[in-house]
Amino acid sequence: GAGVSQTPSNKVTEKGKYVELRCDPISGHTALYWYRQSLGQGPEFLIYFQGTGAADDSGLPNDRFFAVRPEGSVSTLKIQRTERGDSAVYLCASSLPLLAAQPSSSYNEQFFGPGTRLTVL
């Protein structure tokens, strides 16, 4: 079946502009995560959705970053007044929700998309 898809694959913008990055999760995955991977670093968590609501947005670096998931499927990461330091690969991941009845050894894998490479000039 189809995996997580992200569009665009590459985005070049100028400092101060607004950008939107899109993530299409795997069908049926109610959990969706955004991560950011700067050059030479591991991915860093930004925000986590369970359904339509943001369950944890503690990783968003400042109020220029915002994400939505209005219908509980596709998510859009929005960055206002972009800065050169925002240049990175933005990764999206999705997973099935854990059920309370599942044993503690259960873990629902997060499946990652190919990412969007954002370059701010």
Partner 1 sequence: AQSVTQLGSHVSVSEGALVLLRCNYSSSVPPYLFWYVQYPNQGLQLLLKYTSAATLVKGINGFEAEFKKSETSFHLTKPSAHMSDAAEYFCAVSDRDDKIIFGKGTRLHILP
Binding string to partner 1 for residues 95 to 114, with x set by CB under 8 A, is what? Answer: --xx-----xxxxxxx-xxx
Q: Which residue from 7, 22, 30, 45 is in contact with partner 1, where contact means CB under 8 A?
A: 45
Q: Are 46 and 60 in contact (CB under 8 A)?
A: yes
Of the candidates 67, 90, 79, which has an alpha carbon nearest to the alpha carbon of residue 7?
Answer: 90
Length of the chain as a residue count: 121
Q: Are 12 and 121 in contact (CB under 8 A)?
A: yes
Q: Which is nearer to partner 1, 70 or 107 (CB)?
A: 107
Q: Which of residues 13-32 bind partner 1 (CB under 8 A)?
A: 31
Q: Which is nearer to partner 1, 43 or 82 (CB)?
A: 43
